Amino acid sequence: QQQVKQSPQSLIVQKGGISIINCAYENTAFDYFPWYQQFPGKGPALLIAIRPDVSEKKEGRFTISFNKSAKQFSLHIMDSQPGDSATYFCAAHDYKLSFGAGTTVTVRA
């Protein structure tokens, strides 16, 4: 079964709005939590990542929030732009990466 559960499956946001994607896990051995961005016809690309000893990490308009006790983490895309329209995958690492099912984000102009 999937070790990382991701929601929602898809979301639509207006330009300038906030996109929020949530992920949950059970395995407490996970030690690194990356997010990947994938455009149609391309391979996934590392977007931002966090380690479990940090509660938040921000890079530009992208922020990861991490709640270790709840075993949940989320990606926030601030001031969403049409160019952010893509599929986003959360993942978790023990000795390999386990991926969530993905969220397709559509930003309407």
Partner 1 sequence: DAEITQSPRHKITETGRQVTLACHQTWNHNNMFWYRQDLGHGLRLIHYSYGVQDTNKGEVSDGYSVSRSNTEDLPLTLESAASSQTSVYFCASSGGGRARGGGMEQYFGPGTRLTVT
- Contacts with partner 1 by CB under 8 A lie at 2, 6, 9, 31-32, 34, 36, 41-46, 49, 89, 93-102
Please say which residue, 4 or 107, places its beta carbon nearer to partner 1: 4
User: Smallest gap, in angstroms, from Cβ of residue 66 to partner 1?
Assistant: 16
**Residues with Cβ within 8 Å of residue 15, at least 6 apart in sequence:** 80, 81, 82, 107, 108, 109
Residue indicated by tokens 């559509």: 106
Measured in whole angstroms, how far is the alpha carbon of residue 66 from the centre of its chain?
11
Please say which residue, 36 or 73, places its beta carbon nearer to partner 1: 36
User: Smallest gap, in angstroms, from Cβ of residue 61 to partner 1?
Assistant: 21
Please say which residue, 90 or 107, places its beta carbon nearer to partner 1: 90
Q: Interior CA angle at 40 toward 86 and 107, to 5°?
A: 30
Please say which residue, 66 or 89, places its beta carbon nearer to partner 1: 89
User: Smallest gap, in angstroms, from Cβ of residue 15 to partner 1?
Assistant: 26
